[in-house]
Structure formats: C-alpha cells, structure tokens
C-alpha cells in the first residue's frame, strides 16, 4: 500500500496545507475548505471534504484562531490526478507555488523525513502534519520521534 500526504509551497516560502479562512458566504467550515481547495488545488468536486473527513482542531495562539484539520483518503491514482490538476488552479503561481509530497520514510544517512522536518512551516502546519501521520496510522509514534530526533543531526 502506498501512502502519501499532499502539502504545498506557499507564496511566502513556507510549507503548509491547502485551506484558508472561512468567508461570510460559506455556510459551513467544509464549504469554506472546499472553496479554498478549488482555488488552491483546482480540486474536482468528487474529492470534496465533508464532516466525516474531520481529524482534529488546534489553536494558533499567535494569530488567535482555531484551525480545523481534515484529511481525505483517496486512491493513489486519484492522488496523482489531484497533483496534476493543481497546476491549473486559480491561485497557482500567486498564492500557491506547487504541491509537495513529503517523504514518509527515513534513509540510513538521515535523509528523508528528518530533512523534510527541518523546513520552515506555516503556522501550525508542522504539528498538523505530524499529528495526522499518527492519527491516520501512516507512521508510528516511534518512527515520528526517530525522525524528529534525527533532525538534530542534520
């Protein structure tokens, strides 16, 4: 089984997840998220997020906002289609500079996930990333802690 996570390089050089703020016209959190996903990834409606995709919420104290995190499981073929469609998104090249597939593995020389974790992340994105890896069962707590520990050796 192949597992991947989709993140993006933002206009400000930070790595983060697709999403954004809720507009007054959005009836629900999911409506706002799907609008943002359409703008940032050109996401096909068949992949839209609903309440069943909710994972957790977290507080970003510096911005005084609560962030709601969702994850959608799709086939590998659908994942590749989403990646390709993202280059036709309304915000591609201005707000979003492209998608990133984080490495979910460690290599003997410390490369892989440990190197990825030493990037600059937007807001709570790093915590959201690590927490989702654990919550979705993509990596064990031991694998995550080893990767974090190995970032110090880089």
| Residue 6 reports pLDDT greater than 80 | yes
Q: In which region does residue 137 sit, left (phi positive, over 0), alpha (psi from -120 to 50) or beta (all else)?
A: left
For residue range 36-62, list pLDDT tens digits in order: 999 999 999 999 999 999 999 988 788
Among 16, 9, 4, smallest CA distance to 99 is for 9
CATH number of 7-151: 3.40.50.1820, 3.40.190.10, 3.40.50.300, 3.90.79.10? 3.90.79.10
DSSP, res 121 = B
100/7 Cα distance (integer angstroms) = 5
φ, ψ for residue 68, nearest 5 deg: -105, 130
The domains of the chain are located at: 7-151
Judge if pTM exceeds 0.95. Answer: no
For residue range 63-111, list pLDDT tens digits in order: 788 888 999 999 999 999 999 999 999 999 999 999 999 999 988 777 8
């Amino acid at each position: 089984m192949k597992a991947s996570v989709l993140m993006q390089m933002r206009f400000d050089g930070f790595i983060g997840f697709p999403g954004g703020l809720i507009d007054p016209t959005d009836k629900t959190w999911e409506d706002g998220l799907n609008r943002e996903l359409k703008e940032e990834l050109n996401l096909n409606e068949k992949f839209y997020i609903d309440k069943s995709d909710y994972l957790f919420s977290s507080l970003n104290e510096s911005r005084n906002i609560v962030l709601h995190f969702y994850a959608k499981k799709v086939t590998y073929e659908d994942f590749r289609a989403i990646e390709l469609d993202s280059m036709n998104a309304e915000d591609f090249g201005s707000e979003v500079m492209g998608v990133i597939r984080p490495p979910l593995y460690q290599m003997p020389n410390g490369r892989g996930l440990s190197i990825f974790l030493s990037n600059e992340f937007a807001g709570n994105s790093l915590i959201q990333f690590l927490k989702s890896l654990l919550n979705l069962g993509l990596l064990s707590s031991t694998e995550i802690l080893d990767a974090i520990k190995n970032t110090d050796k880089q």
